């Protein structure tokens, strides 16, 4: 190979390598895995469905359990934030009881806990809730236990709706959760929140982003 041909070959190789690196940077992100809705999506009408689940409008008490904050963004596959997304969420209370008439769990309902919230993502695709760490509960008719999790429905016109569950990092019950055991390690990572530093008030904080697909 002549010196001029060699220089041309190396130059083309360098350009190709750079393009590959740039392409990798803009490669579409993985969609947040979907999950079953479960049997206890709320059916009892609630006047209060705001972002603070630790209090119920018209009541002076505070929900039992460890208060936490969960926040993040709703993004498309290219990590562009999506404004105005409906974030619909529900969960069990600290005792592992859903506020649902068909939940057979004998644990008590916490009347000071707001079990359901519906909010919209902000201009940066952002959302934030204040809630309590969900309790564990048995799966009826089995000896299996569900780990702590929060259910989410994410929807907006022009995007594929997402139904999923969010898990908490390093929770001891994760290892035996039947739904997690069906997942790959990668899928579980995409469905697990990131633990951040506690807030100035000492409240544990978790970050969880949703990646949804544009239609």
Tens-place pLDDT, residues 30-79: 999 999 998 999 998 888 999 999 999 999 999 999 999 999 999 999 99
| One domain for residues 45 and 92 | yes
| One domain for residues 4 and 72 | no
Tokens of 47: 């006047």
| One domain for residues 4 and 38 | no
Enclosing domain of residue 5: 1-30
- Integer-rounded Cα Rg, in Å, for the chain is 22
- Beta strands, E only, the chain: 67-75, 86-90, 116-120, 126-132, 137-138, 145-146, 149-155, 162-167, 194-196, 205-207, 210-211
Mean pLDDT over 70-95 rounds to: 98
Q: pLDDT at residue 80 above 80?
A: yes
| One domain for residues 18 and 93 | no
| One domain for residues 14 and 100 | no
C-alpha span between 167 and 164 (Å, rounded): 10
pLDDT for the residue numbered 140: 87
| One domain for residues 111 and 160 | yes
| One domain for residues 159 and 90 | yes
Average pLDDT over all residues of the chain? 89
Q: pLDDT at residue 11 above 80?
A: no
Per-residue model confidence as pLDDT tens digits over 15-33: 333 333 333 344 568 999 9
Q: pLDDT at residue 211 above 70?
A: yes
CA end-to-end span of the chain: 50
The domain total for the chain is 2
Is pLDDT larger for residue 14 or for residue 157? Answer: 157
List the one residue out of 35, 64, 62 whose CA is nearest residue 150: 35
| One domain for residues 24 and 113 | no
| One domain for residues 131 and 169 | yes
pLDDT for the residue numbered 124: 97
Find out whether 55 and 112 touch, Cβ atoms under 8 Å: yes
| One domain for residues 101 and 196 | yes
pLDDT for the residue numbered 56: 96
pLDDT for the residue numbered 20: 35
| One domain for residues 140 and 204 | yes
Assign 105 a pLDDT band (cuts: 50, 70, 90).
very high
> What CATH number is given to the structural domain containing 178?
2.60.130.10
| One domain for residues 17 and 118 | no
Q: pLDDT at residue 116 above 90?
A: yes
């Amino acid at each position: 190979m002549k010196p001029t041909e060699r220089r041309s070959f190396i130059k083309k190789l360098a350009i190709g390598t750079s393009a590959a690196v740039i392409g990798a940077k803009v490669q579409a992100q993985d969609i947040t895995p979907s999950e079953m809705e479960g049997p206890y999506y709320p059916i009892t009408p609630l006047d209060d469905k705001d972002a603070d689940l630790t209090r119920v409008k018209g009541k002076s008490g505070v929900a039992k359990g460890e208060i936490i904050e969960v926040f993040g963004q709703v993004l498309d596959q290219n990590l562009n934030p999506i404004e105005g997304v409906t974030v619909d969420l529900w969960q069990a209370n600290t005792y592992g009881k859903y506020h649902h008439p068909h939940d057979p769990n004998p644990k008590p309902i916490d009347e000071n806990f707001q079990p359901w919230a519906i909010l919209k993502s902000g201009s940066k695709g952002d959302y934030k809730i204040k809630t309590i760490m969900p309790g564990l509960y048995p799966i009826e008719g089995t000896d299996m236990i569900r780990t702590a999790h929060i259910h989410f429905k994410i929807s907006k016109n022009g995007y594929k709706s997402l139904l999923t569950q969010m898990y908490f990092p390093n929770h001891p019950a994760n290892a035996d959760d039947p739904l997690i055991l069906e997942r790959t390690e990668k899928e579980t990572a995409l469905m697990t929140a990131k633990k951040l530093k506690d807030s100035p008030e000492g409240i544990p904080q978790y970050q969880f982003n949703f990646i949804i697909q544009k239609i």
